[in-house]
Structure 1
């Protein structure tokens, strides 16, 4: 990958303008029923963690119960499809990642169009991916890992949260950049993959920091490299892939909030304003940074443009790495 996510989004961020929330009876009436945030991953992963942060902050402000509903599987797209088919009343939200919004559509045959059937609300956070192995693994650097992979071609396995996930793309980008070949082992979510990484059943994973940070800090994972242009402030002693001679394999995970396409504009604008307010809260910023990420800042059309840009970017990467459904 030639440029980082943040570099590609910089121009869009510069023109992002927070939409003003209009007054009026329709705006005041929303929301008028309990709300749910759909998550395409299992409990305990990065998407689930962020969704629960939003639910906790949205509920008292919007004066409605806000629950998180986990629907893992199919590279996060089950939750996306359910949101796309939900009533367009703003009661069903989706916290999605670039897995479902930009990668999976180029690999899987979906029954909905992520760019047309989901209305972007705003960018929640951006997290770098990190190459991790079990703390009991003999590999202490990318150099050690690549040397072992070269000695036993085709015998190494890497985990992901599903076909078309950023972890999957990260693994294939690593294969492409190093000339190695490791075997992809998909799971329904990062938390399930973690069990096998720790047990040594799978050799490695290119997980998002939001999912992996807990295991790293608990001493169960060893982080070998951050797949981003700069080191993570939360992992200052972990070098980047580029610092270790691996270029073109940087992959980050971003998280965005969506509603069903056709949701009335006042409802979308209310949610965008609520998201922007929430992301400015000190405790929320601290939580996101502790996960190794950065709070988002794009809303409305700039976020929609970023999503389309990422869709095109990952489409090219999928073709270059010849990533296919398995």
Structure 2
């Protein structure tokens, strides 16, 4: 049947023509991202460090992506409410999550989650790393870590430390400090750092291991007194504040990192676009100045490097949770 080869040839030519038409259409579809407004989910209340960074990025992304970008605060459950909403969102890149190691690396080892933070959230890039700082109210009688530890040892269980929630890095910092110093304190969780600050300043809670991004404003306003930075070196924004190691406490350094995630299954082209825009935003002078003022360091990462960091931090904090005996009270 001589017509069969002809038909096959025509089919091949037709398929080739369709592919030629489809290729630019697919490219156009990819380049059209985003084709609707974008929201950045934040697992903490307004005014905290995560919220500050999210709004900073939202302003830059709105210009770069040519779409409205809004910040949606969903505080509670150690940042996991916002994370779950992102994990369950449409995987079209319209829902982003500005997460911290609280929700990504600590809380999963303490709380029963309805999503998998490693499988249901796609890493985009690292935003910033902030050291945690031990703060007390300005009216506190304690001027140093040594004085605070001595008082805690004299009255076991009489001191309270605040956190932005169960499983937060503030919670980890408090437990690591107690383990390292042989002291005991009562954990008082809040729905965000800004709410915790109210009670610390008012004297209802004695101390907190907060991120510099959240605490810096109150420190500069003279409402919180920093006793030590929980990092290997002093932060340039608090040059006169010693590290915990300099204060005689080792093994209690805990930082807070902030990273951008998107719903798993989001097209690779959209994820790569977001990583590019994030990297470019972090290179802007005003963004760098703002993050530096919060005591943070910027280390842009490609997608693969940040994904590996996210996984290794999940494992590292899992061990820390087990070592400190932390529980979801």
TM-score w.r.t. structure 1 length?
Answer: 0.93
Counterpart-to-counterpart distance in 2, 1:121 and 1:26 = 20
Structure 2 matches for 1:1-326, cutoff 5 A?
A: 24-326=27-329
**Deviation at residue 27 of structure 1 after TM alignment:** 2.4
Distance in 2 separating the partners of 1:299 and 1:252: 21
The DSSP-based 3-state class of the residue aligned with 1:95 is strand
- Secondary structure of the structure 1 residue equivalent to 2:198: helix
Any idea what SS the aligned residue of 2:167 has? coil
Which stretches in structure 2 are left out of the alignment for 5+ residues?
1-25
Q: CA deviation at 1:26?
A: 2.5
Aligned mates of 1:299, 1:192 — CA distance in 2: 34
Distance 2:287 2:29 in 1: 29
Q: How many residues align?
A: 304
Q: Partners of 1:122 and 1:28 in 2: how far apart?
A: 20
CA contact (8 A) 1:123 1:297 kept: yes
CA drift of 1:61 comes to 1.1
Higher RCO (CA < 8 A, seq sep 6+): 1
Structure 1 residue 296 displacement after superposition: 2.8
CA apart distance, 1:78? 0.1
Q: Distance in 1 between matches of 2:198 and 2:65?
A: 37
CA contact (8 A) 1:156 1:183 kept: yes
Q: Is the CA contact (8 Å cut-off) linking 1:120 and 1:259 kept in structure 2?
A: yes
Compute the displacement of 1:25 (Å): 1.2
Q: 1:317 deviation in Å?
A: 0.3
Q: Which runs of 4+ in 1 moved over 3 A?
A: none
Give secondary structure in 2 for the equivalent of 1:52.
helix
For the aligned residue pairs, the C-alpha RMSD in angstroms reads 0.7
Residue 3 of structure 1 is matched in structure 2 by none
Residues 26 and 266 in structure 1, CA contact (< 8 A), matched pair in contact too: no
The answer to whether the 8 A contact 1:126-1:294 is kept is yes
Rounded Cα–Cα distance in structure 2 between residues aligned with 1:35 and 1:305: 26
